[in-house]
Amino acid sequence: MREQFRPYTMLVGPINDLTASSVTLADTGGNALDCNYISVECSSAVTTGYYTARIFPTNITTPAANQGDAAAASGFTTSGFVGGASKMNSGYPVEFVLADNDRTSVVKIEQATAEPGLYTITYGQIWTGNPLRDGERPKGL
């Protein structure tokens, strides 16, 4: 068995406000691509702020409307969100390696500080190669 991956990369930003930015993960043809691998990394001059990256797979039990924002994620009595958080300019990405049925084509990035952040997003589809089925899965244009 072998794993295969077709990576796509985009730069987003600078984001310099506290509003969540919705990013559609698209292939080179501009079509939304349902991904099971997403990595979001921030480069910024800010060393004290953090950001969150949230995803919304179609089969998630908790609807997107019930998930808190970045500010609501801190504390002991808050509900969680489907995603991750990292310090801005830390060199540590928020990374998602999803099950095949948890694919998503949108990631929302939200900062906890209004300082500008530039985001590198690497995404795509990882699959186990099978010579008999290699041509059957949509991998984007």
In a domain, 76, yes or no: yes
In a domain, 37, yes or no: yes
In a domain, 63, yes or no: yes
Q: What is the pLDDT of residues 73-92, one digit of tens each?
A: 555 555 667 888 898 888 89
Give how many domains the chain has, as a whole number: 1
What's the confidence (pLDDT) of residue 7? Answer: 93
Q: What is the pLDDT of residues 13-57, one digit of tens each?
A: 898 888 888 999 999 999 999 999 999 999 887 767 889 999 987
In a domain, 35, yes or no: yes
pLDDT at residue 105 above 70? yes
The whole-angstrom separation of Cα 123 and Cα 88 is 19
In a domain, 15, yes or no: yes
The whole-angstrom separation of Cα 5 and Cα 38 is 12
Q: Which percentage of the chain shows pLDDT scores above 90?
A: 34
What's the confidence (pLDDT) of residue 66? Answer: 53
Q: Please give the model's pTM, rounded to 2 decimal places.
A: 0.80
Q: Measured in Å, how far apart are the chain's first and last C-alpha atoms?
A: 25
pLDDT at residue 8 above 90? yes
CATH code for the domain in which residue 16 is found: 2.60.120
| Region 106-131 average pLDDT | 88
Kindly provide the residue ranges of all beta strands, DSSP E only, lying in the chain, ordered along the sequence.
2-15, 21-24, 37-43, 50-55, 83-87, 94-97, 106-111, 117-129
The boundaries of the domain holding residue 37 are 2-128
In a domain, 83, yes or no: yes
CA 131, 133, 139, 141 torsion-angle sign: positive
Q: Residue 128: pLDDT band by 50, 70, 90 thresholds?
A: confident
pLDDT at residue 65 above 80? no
In a domain, 107, yes or no: yes
In a domain, 6, yes or no: yes
What's the confidence (pLDDT) of residue 79? Answer: 60
